[in-house]
Structure 1
Amino acid sequence: MNVPLWVWALTVGGLLVLIAVDLVIVDSKPHEVTTAEAARWVIFYVSCAVLFGAGVWVVAGHQFGVEFFTGYITEYSLSVDNLFIFMVIMASFKVPVIHQHRVLLVGILLALVMRSVFIAVGAALIAQFVWAFFLFGGVLVWTAISMLRGQDEHQEYEENAVTRWVRRIYPVTEDFHRHKMFVKRDGKRWITPMFLVIVAIGSADLLFAVDSIPAIFGITQEAFLVFTANAFALMGLRQLYFLLGGLVNKLVYLSYGLAIILGFIGAKLVLHALHEYHVVPDWLDINNWVSLGVIVAVLAATTLLSLAKVKRDTAAAKTS
């Protein structure tokens, strides 16, 4: 897929326009985001992703269109799992509801910049070294095993090394000062909890990239599609946070479903590498139609089984 520089520039410019519109309409006046408002924005961002994917399908062909949609669905589903730690971080720092949208916006913008670096490095590795597929596949399989063992559960938030390092360098105010990240007291610069929580969100999302970037490279090796699928998934994540709310906690089997997806993509990467070395036959090199079908089926089954379990547990609680 040969993407001219002007297409890259136009795409990045369009994404920046979407972010600017979001800033002007939503974030110019801090307020509590309602479910209806969040639903409208989620529909808007999903529609933008669908239109973009349709454009890729028409201009570049169905193969790249399927790759984009498969990558987007994968990144979006992994983002849903990330929402839980975002909620824990927000609760830990006691972020006022009216400022939570700004925290997510700035944190996700930072994550998008950092992921762009990951994507560039990953694309360079894959272009030069076939063994990079083994590396990425191993990371995904290990992550899948860890999730199945329950090592990926987030019971409570513990500040990471980056957040602790920031606390040591700058004094932190006790209270929030609207959405300000820095204030001056007695001629000395202080940081507010707003800055600290943005650091926590940004650094947490960077860790999530360790799973998501290898996962999408298992679907497509086109840097343009990897970047845009990540961008659309991240941009819609903020509104999804407010829309889902407590529903995330009801997706009790989500981690199992994601573990299956990551394990499947990891195995696909390993098989692709073996195919490149002519160790396995062509029919073992899994195509993207199969990948899309597996991912959608696993997510649908996970959601239905989770909601059914919650319903059974609720009925049992009422009976007892």
Structure 2
Amino acid sequence: MRHVSGLVWLLTVVGIIALLLFDFFVHVRRAHVPGLREAALWTSIYVSIAILFGVGIWLFGGSTMGAEYFAGYVTEEALSVDNLFVFLLLLGSFKVPRADQQKVLLVGIAVSLVARTAFIFLGAALINSFAWIFYLFGLILLFTAGNLVRGTGEAEEESPDNIVIRLARRVLRTSDTYDGDKLVTYRDGHRVLTPMLLVMVAIGGTDILFALDSIPAIFGLTQNVYLVFTATAFSLLGLRQLYFLIDGLLDRLVYLSHGLSAILALIGVKLILHAMHQNNVPFINDGEHIGVQEIPTLASLAIIVGVLLVTVVASLLSPRGRARTYTAVARRRATEFLEVEKDPRYCDEVYHKLLDAEAGLRALPERHRERVRAQGELMELLNRAHRVHEERVAAGSCFARPEPSAT
């Protein structure tokens, strides 16, 4: 099954499109905020579909293809979780109401899937034409791994900005306010675009930029275009549900960047070893193949899974992780309560989540609580949220609940 027939390709593409349409018409068309149970249920369903598909690959294509698919899927899923950090910042930066975030994510993911498919076929064409492209892919991943390590100490609460977003802001004329989840509205008798379209472009465009790292990474694990496409597609399909499932845990994964850096470095080395094994570059070993030992796919899969397990466990057990989680969540919930969420159905829910985050802050060791209290901007933000809540309770727009101090 190294060669995949056109019929199999057609059925696979139709199946993926059907899943996207099902997601839109069943879940996203009606604006709502998914509860934990709904997010967990559909995340498990999409992960199960991806796993069952991989089992089918293993049974009909052999253990090598199966291992390549699972290695690619796990790697792409891990990279997708890292991308969720940026999605979180984007949705906060554009002040997207919670009930409308599902549609934004799904449309952005659909755009990304189309763009990544184009990148995949472009990458396959380059690989078939130029053996030296593996050297380039390997260097890209090693460079990215180094950047991930250097970037872990930087602040992550800044609003993300890149060329896609700047270009979209310049080209698209939008209104300043949302009109539900509509893409077009009327202002002063004129038809204008809402910020909803801009944030969709931002999500899709930002994820396209992520593909510059993820596509070389998966090509480092398999050169089978069908496996590259399906592993990428399944990792994206469940991303919307995963976002709502682990929203509160994203900030907790303090060592995720370190783990991803190790994984990308591993794949980068694997790519360079493969390039050396097939070398035909004239100025490297006189254009002759170099007899090096390549890293087996099963070994790569085991290392990737092991690194991710260690990364997640270390992050969840880390006091620094807890401090970072509650600080980031408290800041985000307070901002959401004050500036984003206007729907009375959700304002009280957001405020209760803010109180839960503050309870977590109070349970931290004293040294971490001191660091929180030293953040004057954060403390003022939290105090302002409490004052506004008291005003809303007095006006009858929210339910009362005890309000202990943040720390």
Quote the offset at 1:296 in angstroms.
Answer: 0.5
**Residue 394 (structure 2) aligns with:** none
Q: Which stretch has the larger CA shift, 215-224 or 173-182?
A: 173-182
Quote the offset at 1:209 in angstroms.
Answer: 0.4
Quote the offset at 1:246 in angstroms.
Answer: 2.0
- Paired residues of 1:250 and 1:306 also in contact (CA < 8 A): yes
Q: How does 1:304-319 map to 2 (within 5 A)?
A: 304-310=313-319, 317-319=364-366
Identity %: 48
**Residue 387 (structure 2) aligns with:** none
Greater RCO structure (CA 8 Å; 6+ sep): 1
SS across alignment from 2:318:
helix
Q: What code does the residue aligned with 1:307 have?
A: L
- Paired residues of 1:170 and 1:190 also in contact (CA < 8 A): no
Q: Which stretch has the larger CA shift, 8-17 or 147-156?
A: 147-156
Q: How does 1:143-162 map to 2 (within 5 A)?
A: 143-150=144-151, 154-162=156-164
Give, in whole Å, the separation in 1 of the partners of 2:170 and 2:148.
32
Note if 1:180 corresponds to 2:188: no
TM-score by length of 2: 0.75
Aligned counterpart in structure 2 of residue 301 of structure 1, from 310, 319, 325 = 310
SS across alignment from 1:183:
strand
Give, in whole Å, the separation in 2 of the partners of 1:313 and 1:39.
22
Following TM superposition, the consecutive aligned residue runs of length 4 or more in structure 1 with deviations greater than 6 angstroms are none
**Residue 328 (structure 2) aligns with:** none
Instruction: Quickly say closer, same or farther: Cα 1:144–1:70, change in 2 above 3 A.
Output: same
Instruction: Quickly say closer, same or farther: Cα 1:313–1:188, change in 2 above 3 A.
Output: closer
Q: Which stretch has the larger CA shift, 291-300 or 273-282?
A: 273-282
**Residue 396 (structure 2) aligns with:** none
Note if 1:164 corresponds to 2:166: yes
Instruction: Quickly say closer, same or farther: Cα 1:151–1:118, change in 2 above 3 A.
Output: farther
Give, in whole Å, the separation in 2 of the partners of 1:152 and 1:52.
38
Instruction: Quickly say closer, same or farther: Cα 1:85–1:128, change in 2 above 3 A.
Output: same
Q: Which stretch has the larger CA shift, 239-248 or 307-316?
A: 307-316
Q: What code does the residue aligned with 1:281 have?
A: G
Number of residue pairs matched by the alignment: 319
Q: What code does the residue aligned with 2:302 have?
A: G
- Paired residues of 1:53 and 1:68 also in contact (CA < 8 A): yes
Instruction: Quickly say closer, same or farther: Cα 1:140–1:128, change in 2 above 3 A.
Output: same
**Residue 224 (structure 1) aligns with:** 226
Quote the offset at 1:88 in angstroms.
Answer: 0.5
Give, in whole Å, the separation in 1 of the partners of 2:140 and 2:45.
33
SS across alignment from 1:246:
helix
Quote the offset at 1:70 in angstroms.
Answer: 0.6
Note if 1:8 corresponds to 2:43: no
Instruction: Quickly say closer, same or farther: Cα 1:122–1:312, change in 2 above 3 A.
Output: closer
Give, in whole Å, the separation in 2 of the partners of 1:311 and 1:125.
44
Instruction: Quickly say closer, same or farther: Cα 1:291–1:151, change in 2 above 3 A.
Output: same
**Residue 252 (structure 2) aligns with:** 250
Q: What code does the residue aligned with 2:145 have?
A: A
Structure 2 unmatched runs, 5+: 280-287, 324-361, 368-407
Quote the offset at 1:208 in angstroms.
Answer: 0.6
- Paired residues of 1:159 and 1:200 also in contact (CA < 8 A): no
Q: Which stretch has the larger CA shift, 14-23 or 306-315?
A: 306-315
Larger radius of gyration, structure 1 or 2?
2
Instruction: Quickly say closer, same or farther: Cα 1:188–1:236, change in 2 above 3 A.
Output: same
Give, in whole Å, the separation in 2 of the partners of 1:260 and 1:56.
27
Aligned counterpart in structure 2 of residue 291 of structure 1, from 284, 290, 300 = 300
Quote the offset at 1:187 in angstroms.
Answer: 5.4
Q: Which stretch has the larger CA shift, 75-84 or 163-172?
A: 163-172
SS across alignment from 2:192:
strand
- Paired residues of 1:254 and 1:306 also in contact (CA < 8 A): yes
Structure 1 unmatched runs, 5+: none
Q: What code does the residue aligned with 2:237 have?
A: M
Give, in whole Å, the separation in 2 of the partners of 1:7 and 1:190.
43
**Residue 110 (structure 1) aligns with:** 111
Give, in whole Å, the separation in 2 of the partners of 1:300 and 1:96.
33
**Residue 194 (structure 1) aligns with:** 196
Q: Which stretch has the larger CA shift, 47-56 or 306-315?
A: 306-315
SS across alignment from 1:16:
helix
Q: What code does the residue aligned with 1:302 have?
A: T
- Paired residues of 2:140 and 2:213 also in contact (CA < 8 A): yes
- Paired residues of 1:140 and 1:265 also in contact (CA < 8 A): yes
- Paired residues of 1:131 and 1:273 also in contact (CA < 8 A): yes
Question: What root-mean-square deviation, in Å, do the aligned CA atoms of Structure 1 and Structure 2 show?
Answer: 1.9
Quote the offset at 1:316 in angstroms.
Answer: 8.3
Instruction: Quickly say closer, same or farther: Cα 1:226–1:88, change in 2 above 3 A.
Output: same
Quote the offset at 1:151 in angstroms.
Answer: 6.9
SS across alignment from 2:185:
strand
SS across alignment from 2:180:
coil
- Paired residues of 2:148 and 2:258 also in contact (CA < 8 A): yes
Give, in whole Å, the separation in 1 of the partners of 2:63 and 2:191.
54
Quote the offset at 1:186 in angstroms.
Answer: 4.8
Give, in whole Å, the separation in 1 of the partners of 2:321 and 2:137.
39
Quote the offset at 1:310 in angstroms.
Answer: 3.1
